[in-house]
Amino acid sequence: MVADGPALPEPRGPLSAAVLEALRTGATVRCSVAGADPYGEDLQLALYCCYELHYRGFAGVADDREWDPGVLRCRGELERVFLAALRDDVTAGTDVAAEIDALLVEPVDGRGVSHHLRDGGRLWQLREYVAHRSLYHLKEADPQAFVIARLDGPAKAALVSIEHDEYGAGDPQRMHSHLFAEMMRALNLDPTYGRYLDSASAPALAEVNFMSLCGLHRSLRGALLGQFAAVELTSSPGSARLVLGMQRMGLADAAADFYAEHIEADAVHEQLVRRGVIWPLLAVEPELASDIVFGIRASGYLGDRFGRWLLDRWSEDRPSLRTALPDAPIRSGLSERHEP
């Protein structure tokens, strides 16, 4: 039984209600995915809660629910809906070299979240972004660690080298998850694991769920490496913009340490992912090319959805979290509420 894990969140519909009630009471999970929105709040929260049993679990939920047949059956149904939607919405391909080359070239007119936060974003928007991202970064590299046992030879060795850096190269104070928690403290956010699950939007949940989906299925190991490549090959410029944004906002250098670390680390990891992981893997398993491309494109698709969600809300001066932070604006007539 997990004693100090995160609390179970509130349900957002019938699917998440069924999963959460079963986890809370120990009953068998019974859920129907008919008509469910694959990217919606309800399905994504239900899926996230099923996956979280493979990470830290939840307070009051027995450890053995991780492998409960009913939970796994329900999770499988949720996964099929989510994965089918992604395969419909993401164009297939097999040219990994071209895909990676495209990742290495930033759009000249790029206007993503990091651009906004660098150029004119406000502190409450940065804090919202970090709260959303805490769902992944407080367990950074854990979803990708699942794939280690599914690899062999040079690809495994190179991936372990990257993961070693992600986990602080032996220094727990330099673990990326720890650096993120320290940044949260500097931004007056609660760094407790799972603290913002109840507040996080469906697009933020979907990004993390895709990593877990691919990590927990051997058949999707190529897709997970594609997702990992997409992140490692593109994060350095975005991290640099976020550091500049924090400096513009007048935040202390310590607040930006997490993103400053990623400017250099991910520039190195970009080389390792391409030359040490992807190409050696394709040399022995060329049939994984389409999965790698799918992982890259699905990661980009979900990242773009999350970015649009944030920028659309912020353009209307509306919070993007379901429960707004104390310094975020609340417009009359909207359903958002402030944290106490």
- The number of folded domains in the chain is 2
Tell me, yes or no, whether 221 and 320 share the same domain: yes
pLDDT surpassing 50 at residue 333: no
Tell me, yes or no, whether 231 and 152 share the same domain: yes
Q: Looking at the domain assignment, is residue 156 inside a domain?
A: yes
Q: Looking at the domain assignment, is residue 328 inside a domain?
A: yes
The long-range contacts involving 23-26, CB below 8 angstroms and separated by at least 24 positions, are 23/49, 23/53, 23/58, 23/61, 23/65, 23/71, 24/60, 24/61, 26/62, 26/65
Tell me, yes or no, whether 75 and 113 share the same domain: no
Would you place residue 106 in the very low, low, confident or very high pLDDT band (cuts 50, 70, 90)? confident
| Euclidean distance between CA atoms 268 and 34, whole angstroms | 45
Can you tell me the mean pLDDT for 71-98? Answer: 98
CATH of the domain at 227: 1.20.910.10
Tell me, yes or no, whether 303 and 215 share the same domain: yes
Tell me, yes or no, whether 145 and 258 share the same domain: yes
Would you place residue 3 in the very low, low, confident or very high pLDDT band (cuts 50, 70, 90)? low
Q: Which domain holds residue 309?
A: 96-338
Would you place residue 254 in the very low, low, confident or very high pLDDT band (cuts 50, 70, 90)? confident
Two structure tokens written together for 337: 């509420």
Residues in the chain: 340
Model pLDDT for residues 154-167, shown as the tens digit of each residue: 999 999 999 999 99
Can you tell me the mean pLDDT for 134-141? Answer: 97
Can you tell me the mean pLDDT for 89-95? Answer: 98
Among residues 41, 69, 89, the one where a domain terminates is 89
Model pLDDT for residues 40-62, shown as the tens digit of each residue: 999 999 999 999 999 999 999 99
Among residues 61, 89, 117, the one where a domain terminates is 89
Q: Looking at the domain assignment, is residue 2 inside a domain?
A: no
Average pLDDT, the chain: 93
Tell me, yes or no, whether 304 and 329 share the same domain: yes
Q: Which residues are within 8 A (CB) of 323 and not within 5 positions of it... i.e. 6 or more apart?
A: 198, 199, 336, 337, 338, 339
Q: Lowest mean pLDDT of 48-52, 109-113, 210-214, 241-245, name the range.
A: 109-113
Can you tell me the mean pLDDT for 236-258? Answer: 94
pLDDT of residue 111: 86
Q: How many other β-carbons are positioned within 10 Å of the β-carbon of residue 309?
A: 17
Q: Which residues are within 8 A (CB) of 221 and not within 5 positions of it... i.e. 6 or more apart?
A: 147, 150, 151, 214, 288, 291
- For residue 293, which of 283, 282, 303, 307 has the smallest C-alpha distance? 282
Tell me, yes or no, whether 154 and 292 share the same domain: yes
Would you place residue 228 in the very low, low, confident or very high pLDDT band (cuts 50, 70, 90)? very high
Q: Looking at the domain assignment, is residue 259 inside a domain?
A: yes
Tell me, yes or no, whether 105 and 190 share the same domain: yes
Burial of 196: CB neighbours in 10 Å, binned 0-12, 13-18, 19+ = buried
Among residues 89, 106, 134, the one where a domain terminates is 89
Q: Looking at the domain assignment, is residue 1 inside a domain?
A: no
Q: Looking at the domain assignment, is residue 8 inside a domain?
A: no
Tell me, yes or no, whether 226 and 272 share the same domain: yes
Q: How many other β-carbons are positioned within 10 Å of the β-carbon of residue 177?
A: 22
Tell me, yes or no, whether 211 and 71 share the same domain: no
pLDDT surpassing 90 at residue 104: no
pLDDT of residue 32: 93
Tell me, yes or no, whether 51 and 100 share the same domain: no
pLDDT surpassing 90 at residue 107: no
Can you tell me the mean pLDDT for 57-85? Answer: 97
pLDDT of residue 266: 60
| Euclidean distance between CA atoms 133 and 292, whole angstroms | 24
Would you place residue 335 in the very low, low, confident or very high pLDDT band (cuts 50, 70, 90)? very low
Q: Looking at the domain assignment, is residue 4 inside a domain?
A: no
Can you tell me the mean pLDDT for 230-241? Answer: 92
Q: Looking at the domain assignment, is residue 122 inside a domain?
A: yes
Can you tell me the mean pLDDT for 215-224? Answer: 98
Contact predicate 255/243, CB 8 Å: no
Contact predicate 332/318, CB 8 Å: no
Tell me, yes or no, whether 85 and 102 share the same domain: no
Q: For 6, which DSSP code?
A: P
pLDDT of residue 330: 76
